[in-house]
Amino acid sequence: MEPKAASKDRFFIVIRGKSRRGFCRGCIGRVETETGRGELTGLMYGCSSNAGSPKNGGSVRTEDAYPLTRHQAQLLLYISSPSRRLEILCNPQLFLAICELTPGDLVVIRYKKGHVPGVVKNLMQIGKKESKDDLNMLGFEVEFVDSEDNLSPKQLGPLPIFSASDIIQVVPSYSVPLGLQYRDIKRDGSTGKVVMRINSMPSTGTSRRQVTKSQSERSVAPGRTQSEPPVPLEVGSLVEVVNNAGVAVYGVIRWLGIPEGKPETWAGVELDYEVVGCSDGVYKDQRYFTCKENCALFVPITKCSPDSRFLCSFTETETFNTTEIPPVPAYEESEEDAPPVPESEAASLFVGKMKGIQGHINSCYLDATLFSLFSSSVTVDAICNKPADKERPITCILKSIVNRLRRQGFVPAQSVMNFRKKLGCETFSKNEKDPEEFISVLFQKVLCIKPLLKLRSEGGNSHGAYTLQIFLEKEQMGQTPTVQKLLDTSCMSGDIKFETMPSCLIIQMPRCGSKYKMFSHIIPSTELDVTDLLFNSPRECFICGQMAKFECVQCLPDHKLQPGRIKQYCSTCNTQVHTHRSRCSHSPQALTVPEGVAADSPLPRRTMQLFGVLCIQTSHFVSFVKYGPDSHSWLFFDSMADRHGDDEKGYSVPEVRACPELGDFLGQPEEELTRANPALAPELVCRLLCDSYMYLYHSPKCQSRSQATENRSSV
């Protein structure tokens, strides 16, 4: 394998946006120039049959490009699908491990319809370099390895070449001496190598650094009954099970308990591969979990040992300090519903690593949404005054998730995965999703709640919705809009009104996933005034404060009348304003004035309070949650903040951080906020300003009602 030569060339991959001239999402480019407008121009690779030959790609915004080394660009270029290139970038730990592969490293390859272990033999250059600008693609020459019990004659021939996206797991070569050894075998006269398992574990009391005993001291004799494993095992632990013949199988514990008729604890293990005679999660006519057919093995817990394939690579890695991760205490289900966590207890319960909801397989959109809606907010509890059928399995699972989050401050990934599998579509358990899609399913099918919003559109048509998408042209707004101005402008431009005061308002910002965002940053409005967006509700004149009788959409952007504010007038002010020559062509519309409201009576403002924000960066969702009335009571939650172990066998480490600096920032006057430079703001404040995707508001009346009955959870 040739060394990776240093290069001054700058490469990148387009991760979002749609170019005006050439570049598209997933294309690889080489920088030629960088403009003062924050754009890159350069050559484009990977969008034709001859992927290594460049063509002029035009320009792309710097914020829409992700920098690459030459080596990374060459590896990604051999992946033919642009979407697969972006998919592997979403797993940075795995991708970096692939970039550092050396001969002899063990890998697991996605091959045909299964996963096959193999050994990296060489890094191969693919394609001819016919010009100086051509870029060779790079692939891995891999030799498959067989288990000792499955040796079949094979013809020697050229080894297959795989792309980076075919590799689903990397086991560094330094971990081989501990758990694996090579043994020469004969195949029709030719000599090959297989990987042979040494069934071994350090004895009880041995430190992580002292795994140096000889095999005779460490091995478990066939047929011998093992004692309780030295390392505590729990649901989610990676284990191996060795039968009396010495054959080992590997998997993850999916269930622990005492089956009917058994005196001791057993484990339900989901195996890595199918084994004839195993089930799909059923043992003696009782289902304990669900997996593929022939992949569920039930054995006494004493037959399980920690998976020795990964002991060395996990425990000797310096980049992850396990002492930073506190142990997760056992959790016992309770029949009583837990109320939302009060402000006085939220920080002590939630803040830290392994807190919040643990992410797994593209679940960040769901994790961030559930944490925002259920951790401390009482909004959904108040809405569910007519709860869904609590006997429905999916409702019971959600109830368990919410109760565990509110009582223990942590929900493991397996609990959430069980919930995802019940959402009615397989893609919810595997694919990336947008929060608004999940929210609709959550409220409509799980909680059986009618649409949160009742909207009245042009022509008097009424329809329901669970979220409200902002639609407008960028030219309608200034450089730094507030959520209030975005909402007012969008509703007025689309002639949309709320027929009733919302108890919960979820607003999507004007962007499409991670592909495109209209504004570089958006200023949050901690209080949202919806008075002028309510249909058939008394409103005051924009000029004099008397009862308004007319509304004018054309006055909305008028720079002489405070642009962005909704303009409604009494009869007198309407006449005066529209006598101006710049407004005489306007067409003010008459408002429906409620009966029984005196013209000079005081008109209260109807407001909503911000309680959560979902943010997105490179297809990854996080959330900010307001957990109490104090301005500094903010939490930041990331369900995949860190990673323990490799991408295939490790697990995500969720984290919740206190974010009082957000309260300091949002406490400034609006004029100062709109002039603020996000680059100079604290890290998390900058993240909220630049990456906001969805804002969550609730009605103060809803808040006070639910606080009075917080001990009656409806979830």
> What tokens were used for 227?
């004692």
At 130 the pLDDT is 67
**Quick one: which of 647, 644, 651 has its CA closest to 97?**
647
Please tell me the CATH code under which domain 237-306 is placed: 2.30.30.190
- Give the chain's length: 715
Query: What does each C-alpha distance from 233 to 107, 126, 230, 468 come to in angstroms?
Result: 26, 45, 9, 46
Question: In angstroms, rounded to a whole number, what is the distance separating the alpha carbons of residues 328 and 331?
Answer: 9
Mean pLDDT, all residues of the chain: 76
Lowest model confidence (mean pLDDT) among 39-43, 210-214, 265-269, 631-635: 210-214
Question: In angstroms, rounded to a whole number, what is the distance separating the alpha carbons of residues 19 and 545?
Answer: 48
Place of tokens 């004018």: 552
How would DSSP label each residue in 663-680? Answer: HHHHTS-HHHHHH--GGG
Kindly report, residue by residue over 395-443, the tens digit of the pLDDT.
Answer: 888 888 999 999 889 998 888 888 888 887 778 888 888 899 999 999 9
At 21 the pLDDT is 57
At 385 the pLDDT is 53
| Confidence class for position 215, pLDDT limits 50, 70, 90 | very low
| Confidence class for position 573, pLDDT limits 50, 70, 90 | very high
**Quick one: which of 548, 555, 556 has its CA closest to 586?**
555
Instruction: Give the contacts of 191 (CB within 8 A, at least 6 positions apart).
Output: 184, 185
Question: In angstroms, rounded to a whole number, what is the distance separating the alpha carbons of residues 156 and 165?
Answer: 25
User: H/E element holding 419?
Assistant: helix 413-421
| Confidence class for position 150, pLDDT limits 50, 70, 90 | very low
Would you say 490 and 470 are in contact if contact means Cβ atoms under 8 Å apart? yes
Statement: residue 197 has pLDDT above 50:
no
Degrees (nearest 5) of the Cα angle 402, 408, 414? 60
Give the domain ranges of the chain. 10-86, 237-306, 538-599
At 3 the pLDDT is 38
At 35 the pLDDT is 79
Tell me the sheet residues that pair with 540: 547
At 155 the pLDDT is 41
Burial (CB < 10 A; 0-12, 13-18, 19+), residue 133, is: middle
Lowest model confidence (mean pLDDT) among 53-62, 120-129, 220-229, 354-363: 220-229
**Quick one: which of 41, 107, 35, 55 has its CA closest to 646?**
107
At 329 the pLDDT is 58
Place of tokens 């006057």: 669
Would you say 179 and 132 are in contact if contact means Cβ atoms under 8 Å apart? no
Catalytic residues: 364, 620
Arithmetic mean of pLDDT, 219-241: 56
Proportion of the chain above pLDDT 70, given as a percent:
76
Arithmetic mean of pLDDT, 447-455: 89
Task: Provide the 10 A C-beta neighbour count for residue 436.
Answer: 19
Instruction: Give the contacts of 683 (CB within 8 A, at least 6 positions apart).
Output: none
φ/ψ of 651, rounded to 5, equals -145, 155
Query: What does each C-alpha distance from 389 to 260, 399, 466 come to in angstroms?
Result: 29, 11, 20
Interior/surface letters 317-330, b for 16+ CB within 10 angstroms, e for the rest: eeeeeeeeeeebee
The pairing of beta strand 550-551 with beta strand 568-569: antiparallel
| The dihedral formed by the CA atoms of 111, 250, 118 and 51, expressed in degrees to the nearest 10 | 40
Would you say 610 and 621 are in contact if contact means Cβ atoms under 8 Å apart? no
Statement: residue 528 has pLDDT above 50:
yes
Q: HSE on the CB side for 54, CA within 13 Å?
A: 22
Kindly report, residue by residue over 516-525, the tens digit of the pLDDT.
Answer: 678 888 999 9
Residue type, 705: R
Kindly report, residue by residue over 55-95, the tens digit of the pLDDT.
Answer: 776 788 887 888 899 999 999 999 988 878 887 877 776 78
> What tokens were used for 347?
């920080």
Q: HSE on the CB side for 355, CA within 13 Å?
A: 21
Tell me the sheet residues that pair with 143: 119
How would DSSP label each residue in 439-462? Answer: HHHIIIIIS-PPPSEEEE-GGG-E
